[in-house]
Amino acid sequence: MDNALIIDRLYKTFGQDILKMDSGADILTVTVSHPVIHEVIRLLKEDDVLGFTMLTDLCGIHYPDRGLPLGVVYHLHNLVENVRIRIKTFVTKAEPSISTVTDLFSAANWMERETYDFYGILFTGHPNLKRILNVEYMDFFPLRKEYPLEDPTREDKDNRFFGR
């Protein structure tokens, strides 16, 4: 199976909802609008020709300088053809909701919980969306790039020893 076949199938079904395609780094990367992410993943899994039946990974990303700063990256694998694909989608911080794919892949359950826990992305329809690694009363999402890397009030650090 080659990338042209995958791209053709996706464009026939989703057309303008496909925002970007890139086949660099030896893996086809497709960015889609967030309202159709569930149906894109469903097509990739259930299509007889495509057959991406394994969800290898699902994780969050945060690009604070973009219009849609929060995103989810899905890695799918066709085990028969040994082909991989990366799917990305992005949302705003004001409405960080994406449809769950737990009905398609049970392995997504913990991955979506971890993504919620660290990035604050809400997975609509998730059966048990709550923090999985951080304490429940934590009121921020630690992997968002919203905090300074260093504490400017520290007095115990001498910059001369750090090449500054």
Q: What is the pLDDT of residue 161?
A: 72
- Ordered by start, the domain boundaries in the chain are 3-141
* Superfamily, domain 3-141: NADH:ubiquinone oxidoreductase Nqo5 subunit (3.30.460.80)
Query: Cα–Cα distance between 50 and 8 in angstroms, integer?
Result: 11
The residues of the chain scoring below 50 in pLDDT are none
Q: What is the pLDDT of residue 156?
A: 75
Query: Cα–Cα distance between 76 and 157 in angstroms, integer?
Result: 45
- Token pair in block for residue 125: 């329809």
- 120 dihedral zone (left: phi>0; alpha: psi -120 to 50; beta): left
Query: How many helices (H) and strands (E) in the chain?
Result: 3, 7
Work out whether strand 97-99 and strand 122-124 pair parallel, antiparallel, or are unpaired: parallel
Q: What is the pLDDT of residue 163?
A: 64
Q: What is the pLDDT of residue 147?
A: 75
Rounded to two decimals, the pTM is 0.88
Q: What is the pLDDT of residue 164?
A: 59
Helix, strand or coil, per DSSP, at residue 45: helix
Q: What is the pLDDT of residue 20?
A: 95
